[in-house]
């Protein structure tokens, strides 16, 4: 029972409306750009910057990016 509930919750969390998909795209001159893809109100959207709540939250992830 708990396993089923956990699986159902996970499936809901990873739906396009509730999660970001990351994609590397060619930005020209051999550079790659990270794109965040999501759905907002049923419409596909893309971000070229991390769609976090604030600059402070975004900066927390910078040390992890290579």
User: What range does the domain containing 29 cover?
Assistant: 16-64
In the prediction, which pLDDT does 18 show?
86
Q: Kindly state whether residue 37 falls inside one of the protein's structural domains.
A: yes
Q: Kindly state whether residue 46 falls inside one of the protein's structural domains.
A: yes
Q: Kindly state whether residue 8 falls inside one of the protein's structural domains.
A: no
Q: Kindly state whether residue 11 falls inside one of the protein's structural domains.
A: no
pLDDT tens string 2-26: 999 999 999 998 887 888 999 999 9
Alpha helix stretches (DSSP H) within 1-66: 2-13, 55-61
Give the predicted TM-score (pTM) of the model. Answer: 0.61
Q: If you average pLDDT over every residue of the chain, what do you get?
A: 84
66 vs 63: CA distance, rounded Å:
8
Q: Kindly state whether residue 54 falls inside one of the protein's structural domains.
A: yes
Q: Kindly state whether residue 3 falls inside one of the protein's structural domains.
A: no
Q: Could you tell me if 19 and 30 are in contact, meaning their C-beta atoms sit under 8 angstroms apart?
A: no
């Amino acid at each position: 029972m708990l396993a089923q509930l956990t699986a159902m919750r996970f499936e809901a969390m990873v739906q396009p409306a509730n999660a970001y998909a990351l994609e590397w795209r060619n930005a020209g001159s051999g550079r790659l750009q990270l794109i965040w893809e999501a759905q907002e109100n049923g419409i596909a959207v893309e971000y070229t910057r991390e769609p976090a709540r604030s600059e402070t939250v975004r900066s927390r992830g910078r040390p992890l990016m290579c």
